[in-house]
Amino acid sequence: MKKQNVDIAIQAAGVTKIYGNGNGKIVALSDVSISIPANEFFTLLGPSGCGKTTLLRLIAGFEHPTAGTIFLNSEDITNLPPFKRRVNTVFQNYALFPHMTVTENISFGLEMLGRPKNEIASTVDEMINLVKMVELKDRQINQISGGQQQRVALARALAPRPDVLLLDEPLSALDQKLRKEMQIELKRLQNETGITFVFVTHDQEEALTMSDRIAVMNQGRILQIGTPREIYKQPAERFVADFIGETNFLQADVISARDGIAEIALPSGTKVEANLPDGFQPNKRVNIVIRPEHTMITADTDDYALVGRLENAVYFGTDMHYHLILDSGEPFMIRMQNNPEDNIDKLTKGVKIYVGLSKNAVQILRD
Amino acid sequence: MMVNQIDKMGDKNTGNTPTSYELKQKKQARQRWLLLSPAMTLLLFAASGPLLIVLVYSFLTAGDYGGVVWKFSTEGWFSVIWQRDIFSDVVNLSDAHIRVLLRSIKLSFFTTILTLIFGFPTAYFIATRSPERRSIWLFLITIPFWTNLLIRTFAIMEVIRNEGIVNSILLSLGLIDQPIQMLYTDFAILAGMLYVYLPLMVLPIYASMERFDFRFVEAGYDLYANRWQTMRRIILPIIKPGIIAGSILVFIPSLGAYVTPRILGGGKSMMLGNLIELQFGQANNWPLGAALSFFLLAMVMIFLLIYIRLTAKSRNTHV
């Protein structure tokens, strides 16, 4: 293994995790490689059972990989027990110690590290202030609310100043309003502490709003890693496009392809430019994806990309959703913002619709 | 918690006429008493009755050939720890009784420690199995209860006596030339006590361990606690109520243990239970026996009160 870059906080190289053996064996992770730079808010996003929590547990050290290596600050930690890793976890259900107060919970890690008493006291004070729990610091865990427990769990994991903080769906037990607040709070804590966050979630909105980068996972593999924008606008695979946001899938024919851009013919026959995933050599026939909000109803019957008939128009307050059946047979959705002067919502079912596309609206998929 | 809530709900009702809620409450209370009544009746007649007789006997005069003479006397109670010199009437502490008492407490103490040492890992093992496996292991733990205590004790005797299984095997393997004297020693008594009382330690510890959330262990490891620190600072405090319950369940019956020390100790080391039996038998001193019984009961009560104190305290800090 070549020397690792020092600025990489966490690196996983070819990590595989298999549970059980023989017929009952389950491949939880297969040949996963990631590197997470220091100070990044990195999110593992995927449906339940995709292996995101397994990867987190391998980084924490609760389990050990069947194959592969895990590095923390370029040091091989694959076989270290959790208590020898400068990594802390915020557990899904917090796992706060029920026999200790808020303060005792937060100071536990520092005590175990054998820090001097006065240092523990000042760090714990700082943490209690950071998560705004000053009034409740002497409460027992069962005497505080779920949202407050969440803050204590964060403070407890941050107090030892880990190199990396792992968060296992920490917001899933909170109600909608509290979750929104905590999203902002988490982002603030990450900025203020400068600690690398590895955040596990199945909530695409959470992932998009908080992350610096996202890894989308499915069936034990990482499908795509990128910034929220990249993941949303340029999904490389059908699963990624489908998992994040609403989208339209169509098929198209490639006319020509060069560095990242291809000219394709849409089902309507219109020729447009489309983005290619990195290093992908397209065949003639490809799957493409077009986000509904990158499309519009156009009055210009000469310059359109797709054409179809209106099936249904749904009013959503801020936008209108138009569900069409394209002349080539596929369903298609257009999302347009409502303007006060608009009256196109008066369109009736069956009317012919010409669809225009924004620039760079078409993305080619690998699969 | 529940009771508090119900009280508060009651407070809100300021009217004079009973609401349907209050009527329902009364009905429920009546049903509770009805359900309890068979047990209460049994306790009243089968437990308090005989206890009352024992208490009365402890204040009577001993008959010459057993039984009691109906004349008030505190001699029985006096003799629990005091003795009067036959010739000089000088009152001394009764060495023999105090020795028996201390030996009983010591035996109970070591039995408790031993069952804890053996029972804790057992309970931990069972609690960490898959749910189906757990029920199999628990079932195995209860198997000794299927046989009468006396028979089991004789079985142990068969295992450890000089011509028993252990010695025969060791002799035939050539590991020893002479059989090891195990029967009629303190070792035999402790081994027997351990065997008899182990399930009483395992079950309560298992019960609290089963409810224990093993994510706390992961949280401990995650926060730099090694295995020992996690055990001491996280697992033990959380399952403390189970350990205390198990210890009490073992300690209290061990104090009055009779069969095991008698058979496996060969009557050489007298325990409180044997001393009481002696007073009703050969010694023909029923009032002393009765007083000793009550003395034992008082000790048990004290330990139970300590237990209630300890668990009440730990209940305040968790849940």
pLDDT tens-digit readout, A20-38: 887 888 999 999 999 999 9
Q: Could you report the predicted ipTM of this complex, rounded to two decimals?
A: 0.84
- Range from A9-13, A147-151, B315-319 carrying the lowest mean pLDDT: B315-319
Residue among B216, B224, B226 whose CB faces A97 most closely: B216
Residue B237 inside a domain? The answer is: yes
Nearest CB among B213, B218, B318 relative to A62 is that of B218
Q: What CATH code is carried by the domain that includes residue B191?
A: 1.10.3720.10
| Cα B183 off chain centre by | 24
Please provide the average confidence, as pLDDT, over all residues in chain A.
90
pLDDT given at position B313: 64
Tell me: pLDDT of A122 over 90.
yes
How many Cα atoms sit within 13 Å of A171 on the Cβ side? 23
pLDDT digits (tens, 9 = 90+) for A314-338: 888 888 899 999 998 999 999 988 8
pLDDT of B266 > 60? The answer is yes
CB-CB: which of A81, A89, A98 is closest to B238?
Answer: A98
Taking the Cβ of residue A81 and every Cβ of chain B, the question of whether any pair is shorter than 8 Å is answered with yes
Kindly report the number of other CB atoms within 10 A of residue B192's CB atom. Answer: 24
- Total of domains in chain B: 1
What angle in degrees, to the nearest 10, is found between the helix axes of B186-210 and B236-255?
A: 140
The pLDDT of residue A241 is 93
Tell me: pLDDT of A65 over 60: yes
Model confidence at B13, pLDDT cuts 50, 70, 90, reads very low
Per cent of chain A over pLDDT 90 is 66
Give the span between the Cα atoms of B105 and B108, in whole angstroms: 5
- The reply to whether B71 falls in a domain is no
Q: Do B221 and A82 touch (CB under 8 A)?
A: yes
pLDDT at A251 over 70: yes
Model confidence at A257: pLDDT above 80: yes
Q: At residue B219, what is the residue type?
A: A
Of B221, B223, B317, which has the smallest distance from its Cβ to A81's Cβ? B221
- Report if residue B109 sits inside a domain: yes
pLDDT in tens, A176-207: 888 888 888 899 889 888 899 999 999 999 99
Q: Which residues of B touch A140 (CB under 8 A)?
A: 317-318
8 Å CB contact of A99 and B237: yes
**How would residue B17 be classed by pLDDT, with cut points 50, 70 and 90?**
low
Are B222 and A83 in contact (CB < 8 Å)?
A: yes
Q: Is position B304 within any domain? A: yes
- Rounded Cα distance between B197 and B107, Å, is 12
Q: What is the pLDDT of residues A136-168, one digit of tens each?
A: 999 999 999 988 999 999 999 999 999 999 999
Q: Does residue B194 belong to any structural domain of this protein? A: yes
Chain B contacts of A93, Cβ < 8 Å?
215
Is A109 close to B229, i.e. CB distance below 8 A? no
Helix (H, G, I), strand (E, B) or coil at A20: coil
Burial class (CB in 10 A: 0-12, 13-18, 19+), B138: middle
Per residue in A264-303, pLDDT tens? Answer: 999 888 899 999 988 888 888 999 999 999 999 887 777 7
Residues of chain A with Cβ-Cβ distance to B221 below 8 Å are 61-62, 81-83
CB contacts, 8 Å: B218 with chain A: 60, 62, 82, 89, 91, 95
Q: Looking at mean pLDDT, say which of A83-87, A145-149, B255-259 comes out highest.
A: A83-87
- What percentage of residues in chain A have a pLDDT greater than 70? 97
Q: For position B319, what pLDDT does the model report? A: 39
Q: Which of B213, B223, B317 sits opposite A112 (nearest CB)?
A: B223
The verdict on A32 touching B (C-beta cutoff 8 Å) is no
Residue B311 has pLDDT above 80, yes or no: no
- In angstroms, the Cα distances linking A178 to A133, A137, A183, A187, B28 are 16, 20, 9, 14, 41
Contacts of A96 in chain B (CB under 8 A): 219
**Nearest CA-CA distance, residue B224 and chain A, Å:** 4
Tell whether A95 lies on the interface with B, counting CB pairs under 8 A: yes
Q: If you average pLDDT over residues A91-95, what whole number do you get?
A: 92
pLDDT band at residue B30 under the 50/70/90 scheme: confident
pLDDT-based confidence at residue B6 (cuts at 50, 70, 90) = very low
pLDDT band at B198 (very low <50, low <70, confident <90, very high): very high
Q: Measure Cα distances from A215 to A8, A60, A62, B100, B291 in Å.
A: 16, 18, 21, 73, 77
Return the minimum-mean-pLDDT range out of A21-30, A214-223, B170-179, B302-311.
Answer: B302-311
Range of the domain at B150: 92-318
Which residues in A lie closer than 8 A to residue B233 (C-beta atoms)? 108
Residue B65 lies in a domain: no
User: Closest Cα of chain B to A64: distance in Å?
Assistant: 14
Average pLDDT, chain B: 85
Nearest to A160 among B213, B224, B226 (CB): B224
- Kindly identify which residue of chain B lies nearest to residue A158, measuring between CA atoms: B223
Compare CB distances from A99 to B218, B221, B238 and report the shortest one's residue.
B238
Q: Using CA of residue A106, residue A108, residue A113, residue A119, what is the dihedral sign?
A: positive
Q: Which helix (H) or strand (E) holds B233?
A: none
Contacts of A319 (CB under 8 A, 6+ apart): A293, A335, A336, A337, A338
Whether A217 has a pLDDT exceeding 60, the answer reads yes
Residue A343 is predicted with a pLDDT of: 62
Choice among A281-285, A287-291, A308-312, B227-231 with the minimum mean pLDDT? A281-285
Kindly state whether A113 is in contact with chain B, defined as any CB-CB distance less than 8 angstroms.
yes
Examine residue B37 and state whether it is found in any structural domain, yes or no.
Answer: no
Contact B218 A109 (CB under 8 A): no
- B58 in any annotated domain: no
| B130 vs B94, residue with greater confidence | B130
